[in-house]
Amino acid sequence: MRTHARDVRCQGCSILLAKLDETGLTVRRNDLEVHYGGPGLVSIRCYRPKCRRLNVVRISTATAPGGAAA
């Protein structure tokens, strides 16, 4: 069982955009599934027509080396 998975929600309307856990970021939308293992930054544009806010999520997986990036 995965630990400490958390919801990534839109900063504008709080709708669920993705799930973030130690393996990275997972986006599910209908039949589309995207997984990003990171580390790095992911930008997610809210899919609600009245929102469309750009959310930037920092991905830092447990397996990624810590400390300063090269």
Stretch that binds Zn ion, among 5-13, 21-29, 32-40, 57-65 (CB under 5 A): 5-13
How far does Cα 61 stand from its chain's mean position?
Answer: 11
Q: Which of residues 6-65 bind Zn ion (CB under 5 A)?
A: 10, 12-13, 46, 48, 51, 53
- The nearer residue to Zn ion, 34 or 62, going by C-beta atoms, is 34
User: Which candidate, 29, 35, 31, places its Cα nearest to that of 48?
Assistant: 29
* 67 DSSP assignment: S
Contacting residues toward Zn ion, per CB under 5 A: 10, 12-13, 46, 48, 51, 53
